[in-house]
């Protein structure tokens, strides 16, 4: 079986570097390109400078369009506006895309859905096997306790994270809402301040941003006198990066369409 050729977008980012490392370490993948912002000091250098490895023979480019082709899978963990431009380039080139970026608007999500009519796309707020298993556990707990318990979702991330709540917290909230047969927007309490008692049947969200926390998510089911907490704690970014490379290998020969990490893992 031929190796999956992968292009890493936003290669100089926290996840970009982790994705380069995961790609070069995977025996069934080959790093076919790496892209950074035009003017970034790393452009025109070998990716080895970003991951502290032997030279890889892959020079960091500042033009995504020049790197893309339909036999290469793009992995994009960047920021929503730039990511949308990148997905447009992928549609023009016919390249499959694994999207890890979070914080999209409803309109951007609709555009991604439209793009998936031309190219295969995996979209997931979290590529770790742990979080994707947690989603199933949360559905099960909601089935058992959802009509009796107060459900709260807490997430903690590093101080540089831009979007809140995290994409993963939203996906966990969607899992609860789906199991309750409701829309998340109808039952979510996004913030509390001042005179703000809990409303029956809502799902409360709380967010912490501090230091270099990689990512922690709790889903709490609180009853009178007892509480069940389901927690995922990422101890490094490796779990996200290796999951995204797994998704790229899975996506390579798939028909056009929009997939998620549950599809990739067969969960």
Ligand X SMILES: O=C(O)C1=N[C@H](C(=O)O)C[C@H](O)C1
Ligand Y SMILES: NC(=O)C1=CN([C@@H]2O[C@H](COP(=O)(O)OP(=O)(O)OC[C@H]3O[C@@H](n4cnc5c(N)ncnc54)[C@H](OP(=O)(O)O)[C@@H]3O)[C@@H](O)[C@H]2O)C=CC1
| 161 among known catalytic residues | yes
Out of ligand X, ligand Y, none, what residue 37 binds, judged by CB under 5 to 8 A for its kind, is ligand Y
For residue 100 the two structure tokens come to: 């890890």
Collapsed DSSP state (helix, strand, coil) of residue 202: coil
Residue 125 interacting with ligand X (CB under 6 A): yes
Q: Where does residue 256 fall: left (phi above 0), alpha (psi -120 to 50 degrees), or beta otherwise?
A: beta
Closest by CA to 97, choosing from 259, 237, 205, is 259
Q: Which of 5, 23, 126, 246 is in the footprint of ligand Y by CB under 6 A?
A: 126
Contact between 161 and ligand X per CB under 6 A: yes
Tokens 């050729």 correspond to 5
Question: Quick one: what does residue 40 bind among ligand Y, ligand X, none, with the CB cut-off 5 to 8 Å set by partner type?
Answer: ligand Y
Work out the end-to-end distance of the chain between its first and last CA atoms, rounded to an integer number of angstroms: 24
Q: Does 250 bind ligand Y (CB under 6 A)?
A: no
- Determine if 72 is a binding residue for ligand X (CB under 6 A): no
The residue among 248, 255, 256 whose CA lies nearest residue 100 is 248
Draw the binding track, 170-209, toward ligand Y (x: CB under 6 A; -: no contact).
----------------------------------------
Name which of 122, 138, 115, 130 is nearest 261 in CA terms.
122
Contact residues: ligand X, CB under 6 A: 102, 125-126, 157, 161, 166-168, 215
Catalytic residues: 157, 161
Contact residues: ligand Y, CB under 6 A: 10, 12-16, 37, 40, 77-79, 82, 100-103, 124-127, 167, 240
């Amino acid at each position: 079986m031929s190796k999956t050729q992968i292009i890493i977008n936003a290669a100089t980012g926290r996840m970009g570097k982790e994705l380069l490392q995961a790609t070069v370490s995977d025996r069934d993948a080959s790093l076919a390109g790496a892209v950074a912002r035009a003017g970034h000091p790393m452009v025109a250098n070998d990716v080895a400078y970003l991951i502290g490895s032997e030279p890889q023979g892959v020079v960091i480019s500042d033009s995504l369009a020049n790197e893309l082709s339909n036999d290469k899978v793009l992995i994009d963990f960047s920021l929503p506006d730039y990511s949308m431009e990148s997905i447009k380039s992928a549609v023009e080139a016919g390249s499959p895309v694994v999207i890890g970026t979070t914080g999209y608007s409803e309109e951007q999500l609709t555009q991604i859905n439209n793009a998936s009519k031309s190219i295969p796309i995996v979209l997931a707020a979290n590529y770790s096997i742990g979080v994707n298993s947690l989603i199933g556990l949360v559905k099960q707990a909601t089935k058992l306790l959802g009509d009796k318990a107060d459900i709260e979702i807490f997430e903690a991330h590093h101080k540089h994270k831009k979007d809140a709540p995290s994409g993963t917290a939203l996906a966990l909230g969607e899992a609860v809402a789906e199991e309750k047969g409701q829309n998340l927007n109808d039952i979510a309490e996004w913030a509390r301040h001042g005179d703000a008692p809990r409303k029956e049947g809502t799902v409360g969200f709380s967010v912490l941003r501090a230091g270099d926390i990689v990512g922690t998510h709790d889903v709490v089911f609180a009853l009178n006198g007892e509480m069940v907490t389901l927690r995922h704690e990422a101890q490094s970014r490796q779990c996200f990066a290796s999951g995204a490379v797994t998704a790229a290998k899975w996506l390579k020969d798939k028909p056009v369409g929009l997939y998620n990490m549950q599809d990739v893992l067969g969960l």
